[in-house]
Amino acid sequence: MVDTKEIGRSRFVIQVKTREAFKNPITLEKLSIERSYWREKEVPFFLVTENQVPPTVFENINVLYSHIEDDSDQEELVTYFNLFFSQIQQRDSLRIVDLCIQLDTAYKHEPGESLFQIKRLLAQRYFHFDISKPFTDLRCTNLTAESLDVLQGGWCVSS
């Protein structure tokens, strides 16, 4: 689901599948059901393959995809959001992956824990970034924090 500020198309759905997925009859049936669902909701639905998406965008989607349906405790996510928010403001030019290494060391986390957490936060839209930039090249200055009021409003709607 994509929310935009564009008048007349403020919300739409993009489903990205590999070309290989279209060979599976179950996948085709699921896509048909999904298309019908969004048609009923009067939300435009677009189906694209990896060939229609720039490689960097496709890779970023792959990096974050497994964290999109994360059912984690909201309090835990807010705790990590606050940690990253304060750290990001202090380290503009630092790469996100380097910040994560520093946080793992400072907080004695297992290596990769902070990277896992920032991916969760990005996938859950706590932070926004230009998806056309490679994830590994992102710097702290490239992230924009969502307001907690907006996030909490989304939690009420989804509950």
Q: Please give the average pLDDT of every successive group of 10 residues along the chain, which has 159 residues.
A: 71 86 94 95 90 90 84 86 96 96 97 96 94 96 88 54
Bridge-partner residues for 23, per DSSP?
none
DSSP class of 143: -
Structure confidence at residue 153 (pLDDT): 61
- In the prediction, which pLDDT does 149 show? 76
What SS3 class is residue 122?
A: helix
Looking at the chain, which runs of residues are DSSP E strands?
2-3, 11-17, 45-49, 127-128, 144-145
